[in-house]
Chains A and B, each alone.
Chain A
Amino acid sequence: MFYRENGQFKTSYQADQQLFSIPQDRWAILAIIAFAFFGVPLLVDEYLFRAILIPFLILSLAALGVNILVGYCGQITLGAGASMAVGAYAAYNFLIRISGMPALGAILLGGLVAAAAGIVFGAPSLRVRGLYLAVATLAAQFFWDWAFLRIKWFTNNASSGSVSVADINLMGWTISSPVDKYYFCLGVLVVFSLMAKNLVRGNMGRQWMAIRDMDVAATVIGIRPMYAKLTAFAVSSFYLGVAGALWGMINLGSWEPAAFSIDRSFSLLFMVIIGGMGAISGSFFGAAFIVILPIFLNQMLPLLGGLLGLEVSIALVSHVEIMVFGALIIFFLIVEPHGIARLWATGREKMRLWPFPH
């Protein structure tokens, strides 16, 4: 923003290899996290927590997962919703079938199960790629949709796969009010995003990016495509599984397979496209955009219709919503294929020099 990195010399490897090597960046990130923890709960009311903030946090986590696979490893997936479903139902099963299971443990185990499922359904990526792979991942989506609806064991014999969990308990802290839920999700998100940030700049992340940029060339320089692709599927599904468990157990409380339908997969993909593929921050931008847009349109369209003297029905709002949605996706793909994250980066670059031209 209003600072430059000129004159900040790094004198040790440690300083050079820091996650955020410029102090201003580091402080800015810390400030944002601190604000999220201490400032936000003072400023917003319960409705905002429930309608915007908690969904935003969880979907950011899911978008991170999709971004790892699509943005960093270049494997298109249309089965992200299925990974979330596997995470949610696995966590549910761990929680109810094993007595004394800590909630956090169940959520993480749910993520692991999702990772295992992700590896199985990611295996075709070794043989097929691109568009064929995209369709292959749909197989996972439809299979799990069906499995949680029809196989009674997964849902503890609940009818039509709808299950519910009581308020979860974390070492004596009962997570019931929106503020509690917000804190819990925020904590998980912060840990997981730092982990992602580290992963993608490390050995594994570089392998993913090599595979993404040109897999044959990556193989030639000694990267094992199987290892790289399957780790990407596993890590991505782990993130999605955890996000799914949070979505079910924290955000919804009771859910059915439809909560993780193919529409969820598409909307996660859109978050990554609109936010920015191959950028951690893009996941947050995308999630924010897609959480806020429907609410915004819901509020604005009737107002706009009122100005023009038109009656705006709820059905019309939902139709216009998907229209605007589709149009925005096309708009972003044409104008800025790298999404909001790239716009943000360009803006920063400009602000760095402002008000001077050079």
Chain B
Amino acid sequence: MAFFLETLLGGLMSGMLYSLVALGFVLIYKASGVFNFAQGAMVLFAALSMARFSEWIPQWLGMDNLFIANVLAFAVSVAIMFVVAWLIERLVLRHLVNQEGATLLMATLGIAYFLDGVGQTIFGSDIYKIDVGMPKDPVMMLESVFEGGILINKEDFIAALISALLVVALTIFFQKTSTGRALRAVADDHQAAQSIGIPLGRIWVIVWCVAGITALVAGIIWGSKLGAQFSLSTVALRALPVVILGGLTSVPGAILGGLIIGVGEKLSEVFLGPYVGGGIEIWFAYMLALVFLLFRPQGLFGEKIIDRV
């Protein structure tokens, strides 16, 4: 029982991490109808920038304070992600208005390749560490309930907390601010939004900036877990079934989908994996999403797809 709970909790927490990446997908899809395959590349780019600047800035300034270095690196990385967002809107999306979803998807694949290349050219392609002072040591919980208690990774716990905070912040941003309202209007109908005077271009830049910041947060958390390295960009591939399961247009969907996938992966790996040779968590999430899609093509909370001729 304790082992089961431990696996379950582990799954929930890694699920939150997936949600964090999935959020980036949902944000951009909601606001511009673009399925952003470059989210993973953005996570990598942001993580690399964070890792390298927190290493370079102390050298340039000649000081040795980890906290200040991290804050400065974070600020620089945010600025860089804003520039990336602006460039993407300016150079790519602006020219692809009114194209089909598939074309936009492939354009973001192009962006993904480009960002991967640029990131590794500027920042190098080794494994860099991000140290934002996350505690690494695991703690025991519920020792009175179970014998031996449940082992929980503090780092995962904090990461899950941060993701939850980010979600709350984003929800407030979307629901309560005027920019958020404009974003939702654009998501509903480009033309109608434009006709009441919402500047499409600026809205897109804002959405990509927000997605850039989520990518940065995801990059820092994943990066401090695994190190900032190329394999981070494949995290996005792990998060894709999450979006599909939760529905492309729903923020709560991304969270719930993340939790379901996280738990499903861990439980299947632990309890099913040994019978079929292990390593099934790579495709299990996809199969779960696929089977789910057969019954509910729009995902858990997605908007119903209506066809018109």
Contact = CB atoms under 8 A, between A and B. Distances in A.
Interface of A: 74, 76, 124, 127-132, 134-136, 138-139, 142-143, 145-146, 149-152, 214, 216-217, 220, 262, 266, 269-270, 273, 315-316, 319-330, 333-334, 337
Q: Is the interface of B mostly helix, strand, loop or mixed?
A: helix
Interface stretch (B1-9, B91-99, B128-136, B140-148): B91-99
11 contacts: A124-B290, A129-B297, A132-B293, A142-B283, A319-B116, A326-B113, A326-B115, A329-B109, A330-B107, A330-B114, A334-B107
A114 to B, nearest CB: 18
Contact of B309 (A143, A151, A217, A322): A217
B125 A146 contact: no
A135 B240 contact: yes
A130 B125 CA distance: 34
Contacts of B308: 216
Highest count of chain B CB atoms <10 Å: which of A142, A149, A152, A325 = A142
Contact of B293 (A127, A262, A325): A127
Interface in B268-309: 276-280, 282-283, 286-287, 289-290, 293-294, 297-299, 307-309
A135 B248 CA distance: 11
Given A135-B240, A333-B107, A124 B278 contact: no
Interface in B61-98: 91-92, 95-96
B121 interface: yes
Given A134-B105, A150-B276, A326-B117, A214 B96 contact: no
A262 B234 CA distance: 11
Contacts of A124: 290, 293-294
A157 B277 CA distance: 13
A329 B297 CA distance: 30
Contacts of B127: none
A149 B282 CA distance: 12
Given A217-B309, A322-B113, A333 B106 contact: yes
A-B pairs, top 5 by smallest CB distance, nearest first, are A323-B117, A326-B113, A326-B114, A329-B110, A139-B286
A246 B106 CA distance: 27
Contacts of B18: none
A179 to B, nearest CB: 35
Contacts of B299: 132
Contacts of B282: 142, 145-146
Given A131-B105, A216-B307, A329-B110, A334 B117 contact: no
B102 A76 contact: yes
B101 interface: yes
B283 A143 contact: yes
Contacts of B120: 315, 319
B111 A326 contact: yes
B103 A337 contact: yes
B110 A138 contact: no
Contact of B280 (A138, A146, A220, A324): A146
A274 to B, nearest CB: 10
Interface string B225-247: 00000000000010011011000
Highest count of chain B CB atoms <10 Å: which of A138, A139, A214, A316 = A139
Q: How big is the B interface, by class? A: 35 or more
A150 B279 CA distance: 8
Given A139-B283, A145-B283, A330-B111, 17 more contacts: A127-B294, A128-B293, A128-B294, A135-B244, A136-B244, A136-B286, A138-B286, A139-B287, A150-B279, A270-B106, A315-B120, A319-B118, A319-B121, A326-B113, A326-B117, A330-B107, A337-B99
A138 B288 CA distance: 12
B264 to A, nearest CB: 14
A323 B118 contact: yes
Contact of A146 (B99, B279, B297): B279
B222 interface: no
A337 B103 CA distance: 8
Contact of A131 (B35, B113, B116): B35
A117 to B, nearest CB: 14
Contacts of B277: 150-152
A131 B125 CA distance: 31
Given A127-B293, A143-B286, A269-B106, A214 B241 contact: no
Contacts of A132: 244, 248, 293, 297-299
Contact of B110 (A149, A316, A321, A330): A330
A130 B283 contact: no
A142 B299 CA distance: 20
B101 A130 contact: yes
Given A135-B244, A326-B115, A334 B92 contact: yes
A74 B289 CA distance: 22
Contacts of A319: 116-118, 120-121, 125
Contacts of B107: 329-330, 333-334
Contacts of B121: 316, 319-320, 323
Contacts of B21: none
Contacts of B103: 333, 337
Given A138-B240, A139-B290, A145-B282, A326 B99 contact: no
Contacts of B289: 135-136, 139
Contacts of A138: 237, 240, 286
